[in-house]
Amino acid sequence: MILGVLNQKGGVGKTTLSVNLAASLARAGRRVLLIDADPQGSALDWAAARQEGPLFSVVGFPRPTIHREIAQIGNGYDHIVIDGPPRVTDLARSAIMASDLVLIPVQPSPYDVWAAEEVVKLIEEARVYKESIKCSFVVNRKIANTAIGRDVGEALSAYPVSVLSASITQRVVFAEAAGQGMAVHEVEPGGPAAAEIEAVTAELMELAR
């Protein structure tokens, strides 16, 4: 599976989600490559902060040729996760074209719901050339027990894109793990954050079939 994690709005938690999904896939015994396609290089920073042995490979490739070079870059890997750029650019278009499945993280905010339109348009454009691209929203950084956290799924239903049943709650452990270059399952094994990541991973694997 080639999974692109994209949203043109910055600050939606793309890198945190990309890193932890890659870690979840690697835990299942798969060879995983995380491609940092964001010029800010946050996933590379995460890898540099890590003291332990690598969970998976991380490479920086913020170029608008990912879709043409993905076969070579990802040769020998079972799964590839692309941490996409935060703006609508040729680089974002290339990341979408390289993906089998695009995951769009959306925070429970009206601004995020409105901003999602841009990446949905990009995916629809890409399908002209690659009809098989699948996509789904995931609610990320949800505030537990709030009305807006519950209502965001309904707000996203205006788009022709499914919303994952699993979601990710705002938790301090995500930041604590990132600061150490670790995944949440390493910092808090069996904790709720790790369980949420596993649930999203399982749903994505079903969707990718």
pLDDT at 11 over 80: no
* CA 12 and chain centroid, separation: 10
d(CA 177, CA 183): 6
Query: Residue 148: which pLDDT band, with cuts at 50, 70 and 90?
Result: low
Confidence (pLDDT) at 165: 93
Query: Residue 60: which pLDDT band, with cuts at 50, 70 and 90?
Result: very high
pLDDT at 103 over 80: yes
Q: Across all residues in the chain, what is the average pLDDT?
A: 93
- Show the tokens assigned to 132: 């098989």
Confidence (pLDDT) at 149: 65
23-37, 83-97, 168-182: segment of lowest average pLDDT: 83-97
- DSSP state at residue 195: H
pLDDT at 8 over 90: no
Find the mean pLDDT for residues 22-38: 96
Please give the share of the chain, as a percent, with pLDDT higher than 70: 98
Task: Kindly list the structural domains of the chain, giving each domain's residue range(s) and its CATH number in brackets, ordered by start.
Answer: 2-208 (3.40.50.300)
Please give the residue that has the higher pLDDT: either 145 or 180: 180
Confidence (pLDDT) at 143: 84
d(CA 37, CA 42): 10
Contact 200, 163 (CB under 8 A): no
Confidence (pLDDT) at 115: 87
Confidence (pLDDT) at 140: 93
pLDDT at 209 over 90: no
Tell me the C-alpha to C-alpha distance, in Å, between residue 188 and each of 34, 53, 93, 175.
22, 18, 36, 12
Find the mean pLDDT for residues 180-209: 96
Give the residue from 117, 116, 76, 122 showing the smallest Cα distance to 99: 122
pLDDT at 105 over 90: yes
Query: Residue 138: which pLDDT band, with cuts at 50, 70 and 90?
Result: very high
